[in-house]
Amino acid sequence: MSADLILRGGRVIDPANQRDAVGDVFVTNGAVSADPAPGATEINATGCIVTPGLIDLHTHVYWGGTSLGVDPATYAAKSATPTLVDAGSAGPGNFAGFAAHVIAPAVPRVLAYLHVSFAGIYAFASRVMVGESHDMRLMAAREAAEVARAHPGLIVGIKVRLGAHASGDSRAAPLDVALDVADATGLPLMVHIDEPPPTYGAVVSRLRKGDVLTHCFRPFPNAPMNGQGKVRPEVLEARERGVLFDIGHGMGSFSWRSARAMLAEGFRPDVISSDIHALCLDGPAHDLPHVMTKFLALGLPLADIVAMTTTAPASALSRTDLGHLTPGAPGDVSVLRLTPGNVTLTDVEGETVIHGERLAAVGYARDGVWHDSPQATP
């Protein structure tokens, strides 16, 4: 397939290069270029939004190897997202299978946070739900460090899940192990928090610069704000330290009430991600453009939302090559359409918001190779 591409006439939003204007984007030999290549594949992007390749920082794509995994190629096309970051589906005991059978042949780029639990998230289904952080015997520090060191560039961080559902009576003890592994490998941590214990404040107060707190706008209990709607002081202190806050919508972790309260206090997320998995693919998360649409409904400018799904996750991953359309960068491009018409947007508590337009996927390129989104018409 051709790695030469021309995207004609779209609204190009490239936050890293302060570009927001109608124009063309060129990819030559798989990399963004200043000039078009003769004979390149042409995509008419008139009326569309053209962005650097979207990066979904929180997905679960160990398809076939875990109950929660979705097929990366299908999801990438559905969401027009060329880079998917798996958030701890695999641990050190099964990462080899994930790497060989899913990541290596994947159409989109797949990067991974390695779970500190030996088998990753192994029992997450509608009728079987076992928190992988309950049993401290599964916290595999040595093995996780070994596997992370063996896959530099592919493993981008360490994952741990905490809360009444994920860690149960072990509470925050798995965080001790995960922090040890992160320190030993020099990698950032991504931490899931669900219902207490432990509390949101107790967890975020232990995170370091560059670590990611996902599910940052989750509902009560363990919401990021107190009963008066004010941002918890531990959250503000964490942001001052350089902790990153990621949406990670999923099936239980985005609340309109929390989002409105946090934004009213001037606290925006650093990263918008879907936490897509088998139990939220049909709602309430659906896909990354659907989650982005929710932030349009909350009043955020489109250019800022694009930054939260391109430059911000690229920075969290320390991938300076991704998230922008600078000549020489990988030829990763996403094309979306802002479609008028009422759309019902539902959070994880069942609250709905009606918005008058939505972001719809048209297609994406990875390294200059174009892939249409299902039923997309540029």
State residue 292's pLDDT score.
Answer: 99
SS3 state of residue 245: strand
Residue 159, marked binder: yes
**C-alpha span between 92 and 178 (Å, rounded):** 13
Residue 192, marked binder: yes
State residue 77's pLDDT score.
Answer: 98
State residue 377's pLDDT score.
Answer: 45
**C-alpha span between 369 and 366 (Å, rounded):** 5
**C-alpha span between 21 and 350 (Å, rounded):** 37
State residue 131's pLDDT score.
Answer: 87
Asked whether the beta carbons of 158 and 178 are under 8 A apart, the reply is: yes
SS3 state of residue 85: strand
State residue 376's pLDDT score.
Answer: 55
Residue 230, marked binder: no
State residue 6's pLDDT score.
Answer: 98
Q: Match 């997320």 to its residue by tokens.
A: 269
State residue 375's pLDDT score.
Answer: 76
Residue 58, marked binder: yes
Structural domains of the chain ordered from first start: 5-51+331-372 (2.30.40.10), 53-316 (3.20.20.140)
- Burial class of residue 362, CB neighbours in 10 A (0-12, 13-18, 19+): buried
Low-confidence ranges of the chain (pLDDT < 50): 377-378
State residue 378's pLDDT score.
Answer: 45
Residue 215, marked binder: yes
In DSSP terms, 189 is beta-bridged to: 158
Global pTM reads: 0.98
Give how far Cα 74 sits from Cα of 28, 78, 84, 126, Å: 25, 6, 12, 21
Asked whether the beta carbons of 252 and 218 are under 8 A apart, the reply is: yes
Please give the structure tokens belonging to residue 150.
Answer: 């063996």
